[in-house]
Amino acid sequence: MSELLPFEEALDAIENMQSVQVNEETIELKSALGRIVSQDIVADAFVPPNDNSAMDGYALRFSDWSPGKVLKISQRVPAGCAPTPLEEGTCARIFTGANIPEGADTVVMQEETKRHEDGVSFLDSLQAGGNIRPKGQDIQRGQVIVKKGTKISPMHIGLLSSLGMTSLSAFSRLNVGILTTGDELIAPGNTLAEGQIFNSNGPMLEALVTQAGYCVSQHLHAKDSPEETETAISTLLACSDVILSSGGVSVGEEDHVKAILEKMGDVHLWKIAIKPGKPLVHATLGTTPFLGLPGNPSSTLVTYHWFARRLLARCAGQENIFDLSYPVDAGFSRTKTIKRDEFLRVSISEDGLAYAHPQQSSGALMAACESQGYLHIKAHTSIEYGCSYAFYPFSGF
Ligand SMILES: Nc1nc2c(c(=O)[nH]1)N[C@H]1C(S)=C(S)[C@@H](COP(=O)(O)OP(=O)(O)OC[C@H]3O[C@@H](n4cnc5c(N)ncnc54)[C@H](O)[C@@H]3O)O[C@H]1N2
Ligand code: MOO
């Protein structure tokens, strides 16, 4: 076990080695969801562009007010129209979002006013400057509002639209090649012969890559032969920015991926102190990064989430990759410790405690489907009931 690379070291090594693998292009904002910004976006205007009313009510000069005093309504200002300067000693009927007339400095919501035949009077206590949303409250002109390397969310689309933007510079979509390996595997939709199982990692990896906003350049399957493995990798190299594979990275005679990577390029690391996912291999073929994930389905998932996801994000140009986690108390104990960092598939129960799914085998995928996230148990650490451990919800990945 001593040759296993500690989890954090492997994470740093893989992440820090990668550089952006794609070009940049101009894209339409309306189709920018999930794309990665390639240049800082600087606001060319203020949002909101003018002081405006936060309420339906009346705009006045605070100095014109005194308790019970009736002010004549000199103009009506709905949102979307240009008000005239406010006459001295009067107020303006105003609506939410409407620009504040020049001279007015306070808005009073209509529930706090009294209508009279000849105007409006206000509460006995008024707050000067109340209910006005100042120009630039949200965005100041010249401000960097979205940083290079940011992944565009629906909120960013809203923010950029508030500036009137319709396009932006983004990194080109990353093309990810997927290789699955194994004589025993056949594609879903066929009939299983004895000894065969369906290829489930391939479709899962395609879904994970698609969920992250990248393109699957091609998904190939290779039998457990060095020749087929090499041919498939060469084909993927021609159409991919990055390649992910599943299976064939352990020590068996039928595991050829690592040997072929050594032949075709440089292997940087192999075997990491994590469970599940130990025999992960990281290589570069020319300039193309390659991550060989172990074939057990939960090992594939865990190594995708922790390593491939970050590597792909880096290659796609994303910066500040952040994993949402918070401490959760364990609802169970385990005195046995292991030498690997472990990612238990757990659910948070109504009592607020984390419970491990009973089936943690790396060959079983149901645990991930029936759980809410990972509880990270560091190497050489026992689990004590009521003690907290880092919980990473799947929704954060
Ligand atoms: N002597 C040792 N044997 C193994 C070790 C070890 O240290 N010494 N490590 C074990 C660990 S841990 C893992 S994880 C696996 C990983 O092995 P491979 O990456 O070489 O994967 P395969 O042997 O090709 O497959 C493992 C398992 O997963 C199934 N599989 C593979 N691909 C798919 C797929 N696309 N869809 C569904 N299922 C798949 C495959 O049938 C095997 O059952 O090695 C251990 N062995
Ligand atoms: O690392 Mo393996 O995934 O323990 O089964």
Does 299 sit in the ligand 1 pocket, CB within 6 Å? yes
Segment 59-72, tens digit of pLDDT = 999 999 999 999 99
Domain 52-133 is of which CATH architecture? Beta Complex (2.170)
Q: What is the pLDDT of residue 123?
A: 84
Interface predicted TM-score (ipTM) over 0.85: yes
Task: List all residues 6 or more positions away from 244 whose beta carbon is below 8 Å from its beta carbon.
Answer: 176, 177, 178, 179, 205, 209, 290, 291, 292, 293, 304, 308
Q: What is the pLDDT of residue 121?
A: 96
Side-chain half-sphere of 205: how many Cα atoms within 13 Å? 34
The boundaries of every CATH 2.40.340.10 domain in the chain are 326-396
The boundaries of every CATH 2.170.190.11 domain in the chain are 52-133
Q: What is the pLDDT of residue 1?
A: 44
Q: Which atom of ligand 2 is least distant from the CA of 302?
A: 3
**pTM score, whole prediction:** 0.93
Q: Domain 24-45+151-171: which topology?
A: Molybdopterin biosynthesis moea protein, domain 2 (3.90.105)
Domain 326-396 is of which CATH architecture? Beta Barrel (2.40)
- Average pLDDT for the chain: 96
In the numeric block, which tokens belong to residue 341? 């960092």
Task: List all residues 6 or more positions away from 34 whose beta carbon is below 8 Å from its beta carbon.
Answer: 151, 152, 212, 213
What b/e sequence results for 141-157 when a residue is b if at least 16 CB atoms lie within 10 Å of its CB, and e otherwise? eeeebbebbbbbeeebb
Segment 286-307, tens digit of pLDDT = 999 999 999 999 999 999 999 9
Does 292 sit in the ligand 1 pocket, CB within 6 Å? no
- Which ligand places an atom closest to the C-alpha of 343? 2
Ligand 1 probe mutation, 190, 296, 339, 366, most atoms within 8 A of CB: 296
Answer whether residue 376 shows pLDDT above 70: yes
Segment 328-341, tens digit of pLDDT = 999 999 999 999 99
Answer whether residue 2 shows pLDDT above 80: no
Separation of alpha carbons 81 and 106, rounded Å? 19
The boundaries of every CATH 3.40.980.10 domain in the chain are 7-22+173-315
Identify the three-state secondary structure at position 145: strand
Q: What is the mean predicted confidence (pLDDT) over 108-133?
A: 94
Tell me the C-alpha to C-alpha distance, in Å, between residue 151 and each of 31, 45, 76, 205, 213: 13, 22, 43, 20, 10
Instruction: Kindly indicate whether the domain formed by 7-22+173-315 is annotated with CATH number 3.90.1300.10.
Output: no
Segment 158-174, tens digit of pLDDT = 999 999 999 999 999 99
Query: How far is ligand 2, taken at its centre, from the CA of residue 327, in Å?
Result: 25
Q: What is the pLDDT of residue 254?
A: 84
Q: What is the pLDDT of residue 124?
A: 83
- Which ligand places an atom closest to the C-alpha of 251? 1
Query: How far is ligand 2, taken at its centre, from the CA of residue 334, in Å?
Result: 19
The boundaries of every CATH 3.90.105.10 domain in the chain are 24-45+151-171
In the numeric block, which tokens belong to residue 192? 């299983």
Residue 207 class from Cβ within 10 Å (0-12 exposed, 13-18 middle, 19+ buried)? exposed
Nearest Cα residue to 45 out of 182, 164, 148, 166: 164
Q: What is the mean predicted confidence (pLDDT) over 107-124?
A: 94
In the numeric block, which tokens belong to residue 337? 């410790």
List the beta bridge partners of residue 72.
Answer: 90
Ligand 2 probe mutation, 7, 275, 341, most atoms within 8 A of CB: 275
Residue 1 class from Cβ within 10 Å (0-12 exposed, 13-18 middle, 19+ buried)? exposed
Does 310 sit in the ligand 2 pocket, CB within 6 Å? no
Q: What is the mean predicted confidence (pLDDT) over 173-194?
A: 97
Contact between 62 and 36 (Cβ < 8 Å): no
